[in-house]
Amino acid sequence: MFKQRSKQKELLDGKVEREDLVQNLKELHEINKLLGGYNISLSALKTIDTQNKVLVDIGSGGGDTLEEIRKWSVSQKQTMTLIGIDLKADCVEYSKSHLDKTLTFIEDDYRNIGAHLSNVDIIHACLFTHHLTNDEITELIELAKNKNSVLIINDLNRNSIAYYSIKLLTRVFSKSHLVKHDAPLSVLRGFTKKEWKNLIQSAGATNYSIKWKWAFRHQIIIYG
């Protein structure tokens, strides 16, 4: 079960009722806070130049990752333009309804980013790439390369400990049927370090770093 990435689609990748989606987004935010998921993205940003840069968070979901980046940038006195892009209208509306108004959210496919922005310095993806096929991930890396963007990826490490831990955690504490179903499956759709290395190299990128981070995630930085 853990030797290869699962090809099974998550419920979140299909049509979801707004009420169920919002509950899912709220619980994912709590999980990220509890397990330190946001810190992985922030520690990556600390290693690059962010002053006066444009950062786009792809698959931005509820926008909470972008909000954490905003709060970090303010604390570091960094001036950044922060934009989230998501295909689901409900995600974009929810993000706009409860987050800081300095953040911009766009309803569209991330691959159409060029239609909205002429320049993107940093492309950020948190818990998003495991929703993609390997070919789509290769295309994402190539997109970042073509735009001379730094690509930061924060996503799951596929292994048995992560799978059974999140399955137990969500079974006990989650009220969302989406989270209970999708959280363990998302681990099965995650990656090993070797798989990341192969994907990055197949896209022609040579300047990158891959680091394992708690809790059972990879932090990938691909420099434009």
pLDDT per position as a tens digit, 17-63: 999 999 999 999 999 999 999 999 999 999 999 999 999 999 999 99
What is the predicted pLDDT for the residue at 224?
A: 76
Would residue 115 count as lying in a domain? yes
Evaluate the CA torsion angle 134, 30, 92, 180 in order and state its sign: positive
Pairing of strands 80-86, 122-126: unpaired
Q: Is the pLDDT reported for residue 137 higher than 90?
A: yes
State the CATH number of the domain containing residue 59: 3.40.50.150
Mean pLDDT of the chain: 97
- Confidence label for 1 from pLDDT (cuts 50, 70 and 90): confident
Whether the model pTM is above 0.95:
yes
Q: How many domains in the chain?
A: 1
Condensed to tens digits (0 to 9), the pLDDT of residues 76-120 reads 999 999 999 999 999 999 999 999 999 999 999 999 999 999 999
| Buried b or exposed e, range 180-199, using 16+ CB within 10 angstroms | bbbbbbbbbbbbbeebbeeb
Domain of residue 130 covers 11-222
Closest CA to 57 of 179, 182, 153, 155: 153
185-188 long-range contacts, CB within 8 A, separation 24+: 185/6, 185/8, 185/10, 186/10, 186/127, 186/130, 186/156, 187/156, 187/158, 187/159, 187/162, 187/163, 187/216, 188/1, 188/2, 188/5, 188/6, 188/8, 188/158, 188/163
Q: Is the pLDDT reported for residue 217 higher than 80?
A: yes
Would residue 213 count as lying in a domain? yes
Would residue 5 count as lying in a domain? no
Would residue 186 count as lying in a domain? yes
Would residue 51 count as lying in a domain? yes
> Do the beta carbons of residue 190 and residue 37 sit within 8 Å?
no
What is the predicted pLDDT for the residue at 146?
A: 96
> Do the beta carbons of residue 190 and residue 157 sit within 8 Å?
yes
